[in-house]
A and B are shown apart, each in its own frame.
Chain A
């Protein structure tokens, strides 16, 4: 008796679902849905007494054993690398075999960035600029990924959802561009990341989500940021192809980004790259990280596993670099940064009138009145303002 009732219930469900499915298929655009989404295929055949799940929400088999899926944080998603910590290629078939000029450009970009960081950090300490954030230890993630992109690709330094929108527009325009969006493991906790991942996957956008997991969000260590297996493990939850790479291995970053770029554009789908690295410097000039981590920990990364050192070993072992060139380049890059800095320092700041520009494309009349009000105020009280540093 129970079996008969069960059978009738299944049959009735299938009938209703069948009608709903027919309606869905007749809906405009339903044809398009069948092409890309794997779940849609199951709507096409309904056998009324089939014991397969019919739920539109998941494509899966039944199981009759109660079992919770265990999140795997002990042996998480493996970390792809090409070079060992001494800069030696581990698996020759993964060597990108980049020409000397390109690899030297990698090295010079990373070291120039490092030099600029030192000079600008110091200048903040001297009161010459108000605020700075260094990149110490993460140079490999920036340079390796940027090198894998085309000049016309779009780069978003944050703004995950906007990056997805830009990718969608690029797809519509057949622009052959990828969008890359950088963010840290802390920013990955924001709702923006969830929204960005989900939209990118459902709307089939050519985008690379590049997460720099450097161990800290200001003072918050990763153990307080998430409990799962980092950021790479979230990708599959959204239906996104994901990889974890050694962010201190510029070739691994390069290879992964290059392949992600090729496929994102060719297949119109998002990719997630989690680049593991370490933030050697403080969060910013407003932070003193000795308050929350040991000097020993920082020194380990600085001395034993640094993206610049690893690439230097690679260059040295190939005879593409030596101590003399290193000394000359250090001097040259310092000079470059100092000259640019001094030139920028000499320029006066823009006229205070420009405070009111670009709020809208055109200036509304009420705003113009406020602009005039400030101008009149400065005529009378100008001595109390640092006008000498600003354009007249």
Chain B
């Protein structure tokens, strides 16, 4: 059941709108996100017509015991917590991007400017290539740069900076220079009404770029640990945050800093018949598919959250497929050239003789991310279930 919190954020933004400073409000409305984020869900048939039910159910992980005191946090709060920890520990760390000063359009940076100062948490002009290029420069001097790209859909103007500059800085200078202390964070993935330019999952474009790391968390606890690892990692990292989970995902998250290792996939459920691989929001979809498979087909699924897209944990996926003989990979991004193709290709090379059926990919269609057709576009549990069923009967 997706939790919808009517956070203090809502009233703050209503006040801002009332005062006539419409900029932020307009941007959110234009993004089509205002409804989802500011209006509480109405009850009854009205709600069903006005707003679709989410295609997944967030499954919180059990409360972590090994990192000290925990607090209930949603995804954006867990991000704020990670950023807070980082700026507290590392006096060189700075956060910048569009609209981060007032707290950010998804509230990930609320309170940080007040706490750490305007020279450490600041707005930049509206220019993604500038944001990333500027971040590279900060990182080259050894300071920690945490850049925000407001939506992953807007990362493309910065593509040259990421691929040609950040990714190659260490290599081209023979390790004389590097921008390892750069982390780029960006909201990612479908959100129900994001349409073409507020729903994209561009990880595949970056998977093809040696020199950077790309990380995608499935939950608040994972997000904080992975983001802290990205920030501390000595290589430039891109951290994609599933925006649909910002409010919907709530669980207990340690208050103190902790790290979750990069390039390590997690087997979140063991099984014997099929391996299911996904990342971000889609992990919760395949979790449900696994229950459906158990209930309707008596099939035991092993579920893997890949977590790091590059460099990815080939060994964990191989080990699983050697055991189960069947692999299904699912992501929202379009099928052709999507990251499932890389996984599929590598696994068939490494585990050919173990495979009982062709590897299955359940992905978005090869179209731009649609607006009104979103419910038909996304690789929902029915499509995943159907693909799994065909694989079992192969």
What is A's interface to B at a CB cutoff of 8 Å?
16-17, 19-20, 22-24, 27-29, 32, 154, 159-170, 172-173, 191-192, 194-196, 198-199, 202-203, 357-362, 364-367
Contact = CB atoms under 8 A, between A and B. Distances in A.
Interface in B113-145: 113-114, 118-119, 122, 124-125, 127, 129-130, 132-143, 145
Closest 10 CB pairs of A and B: A165-B137, A161-B133, A195-B130, A162-B137, A364-B311, A16-B20, A165-B134, A361-B234, A166-B137, A169-B141
A357 B175 contact: yes
Q: Which of B21, B132, B178 has the most CB of A within 10 A?
A: B21
B175 A28 contact: no
B21 A169 contact: no
A87 to B, nearest CB: 38
Contacts of B107: none
B180 interface: yes
A20 B143 contact: no
A359 B133 contact: no
Q: Which of A27, A161, A359 has the most CB of B within 10 A?
A: A161
A360 B141 contact: no
Contacts of A198: 125, 127, 130
A365 B130 CA distance: 33
A29 B101 contact: yes
22 contacts: A28-B118, A29-B118, A154-B141, A161-B130, A162-B165, A164-B130, A165-B138, A165-B145, A166-B138, A166-B141, A168-B137, A172-B143, A173-B141, A173-B143, A195-B134, A359-B211, A360-B211, A361-B180, A361-B235, A362-B234, A364-B263, A364-B311
Given A162-B136, A358-B170, A20 B122 contact: no
A206 to B, nearest CB: 12
Q: Is the interface of A mostly helix, strand, loop or mixed?
A: helix
B218 to A, nearest CB: 22
B155 to A, nearest CB: 15
B140 A166 contact: yes
B92 A165 contact: no
Interface string B77-106: 000000000000000101000000110000
Given A164-B134, A165-B145, A169-B137, A359 B127 contact: no
B368 interface: no
Contact of A27 (B102, B125, B174, B178): B102
B140 A165 contact: yes
A19 B118 CA distance: 23
Given A28-B113, A164-B130, 20 more contacts: A16-B20, A27-B102, A29-B101, A160-B133, A161-B133, A162-B134, A162-B136, A164-B137, A165-B137, A166-B138, A173-B143, A195-B127, A195-B129, A195-B134, A198-B125, A203-B124, A203-B134, A359-B210, A362-B234, A365-B314
A16 B21 CA distance: 8
Given A19-B19, A199-B127, A358-B171, A29 B137 contact: no
Contact of B134 (A19, A22, A199, A360): A199
Interface in B48-92: 92
Nearest to A158: B165
B165 A360 contact: no
A169 B94 CA distance: 9
Contacts of A194: 127
Nearest to B233: A361
